[in-house]
Amino acid sequence: MENVTLNNGVEMPVLGFGVYRIPPEETEQAVGSALAAGYRSLDTAAAYGNEEAVGRAIRNSGIPREDLFVTTKLWVSDAGEERTKRAFATSLRKLGLDRLDLYLIHQPFGDVHGAWRAMESLHREGLVRAIGVSNFHPDRLVDLIDHNEITPAVDQIETHPFFQRVADQELMRERGVRIESWGPFAEGRNDLFSDPRLGRIADAYGKSVAQVVLRWLIQRGVVVIPKSVRPERMAENLDVFDFTLTDDQMAAVAAMDTGASLFFDHRDPAVVSRLGTVTLNP
């Protein structure tokens, strides 16, 4: 496994396992299979409702805690200085851990500055090794950086061949923030897995389209957290370190960019209202 070094010196695997939309009753088995396959970075969130199952899988795996990199996220309704500390403690309890490797603000809504001050405090206390954000567009990211002490280590955003976030990544690079992709396969939208451009590249290496997409992201310096509940796919997604795309192949994938989300726009007032009013812990 290759690692990237975050802005505070913490090393993070460039390829991890995500559990978004895996039902809680299936999560323990899926995470157990992922750990058995060789994954050591796990990404969950309070909003996913499966932190407890992730924690059980970690305990049952027998893998030493220091060999794992565990990420979870703070939901909007828990933003704010005191609520964030309580939500963090709840996530730790559900995961059965005494510290986190990465804690992210899940959405750029609500009292994010209060939440960030609490996260800075948690970081200073050694309860989390790195802190970051998710779904922050460049303006929100810069605002957070310019008005706080610690620069986010990571911004986890929608990134895939149809929405490549090149300008966003460049700004993050300038500011010392690592880009992390959610939805690297675009959840199969736009017929990604049967796209002939990706298929030709895959055929050249005897790889799958999914492996080409992951390789393309990793070569761009993007951290990826693909999800699967099938052990054979988990193993396949890990097998992307034995080939390198050429400049022409990287450019061919770059030409697929539409510049628009395939899911939702975090600047759409309706989206802001919908996400901002969902409560996890009333």
* Separation between Cα atoms, residue 21 and residue 32, nearest integer Å: 16
Task: Copy the structure tokens of residue 222.
Answer: 């993007």
Active site residue 103: no
Give 188's DSSP letter: G
With the C-alpha atoms ordered 274, 154, 102, 250, is the resulting torsion angle positive or negative? positive
Residues 142, 79, 40: CA angle, nearest 5 degrees: 80
Q: Is 47 helix (H, G, I), strand (E, B) or coil?
A: helix
Contacts of 10 (CB under 8 A, 6+ apart): 101, 129, 130, 153
* Separation between Cα atoms, residue 25 and residue 92, nearest integer Å: 19
* Amino acid symbol at 244: T
pLDDT (tens place) for every residue of the chain, 282 residues total: 899 999 999 999 999 999 999 999 999 999 999 999 999 999 999 999 999 999 999 999 999 999 999 999 999 999 999 999 999 999 999 999 999 999 999 999 999 999 999 999 999 999 999 999 999 999 999 999 999 999 999 999 999 999 999 999 999 999 999 999 999 999 999 999 999 999 999 999 999 999 999 999 999 999 999 999 999 999 999 999 999 999 999 999 999 999 999 998 888 899 888 888 888 864
CATH fourth-level superfamily of 3-275: NADP-dependent oxidoreductase domain (3.20.20.100)
Report the number of secondary-structure helices (H) and strands (E) in the chain: 11, 10
Domain positions in the chain are 3-275
- Summarised one tens digit per residue, pLDDT across range 133-176 is 999 999 999 999 999 999 999 999 999 999 999 999 999 999 99
Residue listed under structure tokens 């726009």: 265
Which one from 20, 39, 48, 205 is the annotated catalytic residue? Answer: 48
* Separation between Cα atoms, residue 102 and residue 72, nearest integer Å: 7
* Amino acid symbol at 72: T
Residue 9 burial class via C-beta count within 10 angstroms: exposed 0-12, middle 13-18, buried 19 and up: exposed
* Separation between Cα atoms, residue 49 and residue 157, nearest integer Å: 20
